[in-house]
Amino acid sequence: MASGLWSTIRQFDRARLAPAMALRNALGVAIPLIIGVALGNPSGGAMAATGALNVSVSDGDDPYLHRGRRMFSAALFVALAVFAGRLSGRNHLIAIALEALCAFAAGLLVAAGPAPGDIGSITLVTLIVFSGSAASSPGKAFSSGLLAFAGGVLQTIFALALWPVHRYLPESRALALLYAELARSAASAGAASEAPPATEPILAARAALGGLDSARSVEAERYLALLSQAERIRLAVLVLSRLHVRMRREPGSSADTAVLARARELASRMLRSISGATTSQPQRAWSKR
């Protein structure tokens, strides 16, 4: 048991590294501190930096619209938690009642999904922390909440900074991963007992492109069409894979099996080319502007 625990501690997943996200989150925390010190108000800078730090938990690499809504909601709830915590800190009974109510709401939000659950948890933690730092007046509590909100909005702006440059970059990445997985599935013969190919990538692509239904642009229509075709290709790849397995069992079908294998190989190359073209599409679109 100890060896298994130690191997878990030593495990390092490089795929989870996000240097760009780490840089913008660090800037969102550092800039309010620098501004606060420069203006002679380090406590205000620390308050804004706290808001930015708490909102950075909601950052991600999903589509910008979803990311912006989530981070702005986190900034709003964190600001309310700072205001309520500092205001109720002077009365322990009110503070405990607010914390109990917030804990109940945070528990309910867990059932709504990971993102609402994270926002509920960070709001609860913020409320508990700032309940121990009572403000001398309601105005002080309001200014603290306003500073925390400003820091959270600044962090949100950093997370959305590349939106005008690469508007559909998260969506194109999801589609590229989906077509790359379809290419891999087309090249390899899956067993009948295995799950259909590209199940997780296609669910991720549907979630990433879910906000494009209301977008009226040529690029959005193209990405939605690629998703629709990918769903059809996924079923065709599944049928061809099962057919290939059955044909190999039949005697005297080596020639037909070779033709089908060649067709699957060509399909895999085409799907890989689509994946590469989808990845480079946002950069080419921006270079033409």
Cα–Cα distance for residue pair 31/51, rounded to 1 Å: 12
Q: Report which of residues 119 and 216 the model is more confident about.
A: 119
Is residue 70 within 8 A of residue 119, CB to CB? The reply is: yes
Cα–Cα distance for residue pair 275/289, rounded to 1 Å: 23
Residue 282 has pLDDT above 70, yes or no: no
The pTM of the full predicted model, rounded to 2 decimals, is: 0.72
Domain assignments of the chain as residue spans, ordered by start: 19-159, 169-287
Residue 6 has pLDDT above 90, yes or no: no
Give Cα separations from 285 to 9, 226, 255, 262 (angstroms): 43, 17, 44, 34
Query: Which band of pLDDT confidence, cut at 50, 70 and 90, is reported for residue 144?
Result: very high
Write the pLDDT tens digit of every residue in 229-268: 888 888 888 887 777 777 777 777 777 788 878 888 888 8
Is residue 265 within 8 A of residue 187, CB to CB? The reply is: yes
Q: Report which of residues 201 and 289 the model is more confident about.
A: 201
Q: Report which of residues 115 and 284 the model is more confident about.
A: 115
Kindly state the average pLDDT of the residues 97-126.
Answer: 90
Q: Which tokens sit at 202? A: 């296609």
Cα–Cα distance for residue pair 279/173, rounded to 1 Å: 6
Query: Which band of pLDDT confidence, cut at 50, 70 and 90, is reported for residue 54?
Result: very high
- Percent of the residues in the chain that have a pLDDT greater than 70, as a whole number: 87
Would you give the distance in Å from CA 83 to the centre of its chain? 28
Q: Report which of residues 219 and 12 the model is more confident about.
A: 219
Residue 288 has pLDDT above 80, yes or no: no
Closest CA to 154 of 146, 142, 166, 164: 146
Q: What is the mean pLDDT of the chain?
A: 83
Q: Which tokens sit at 93? A: 């009974």
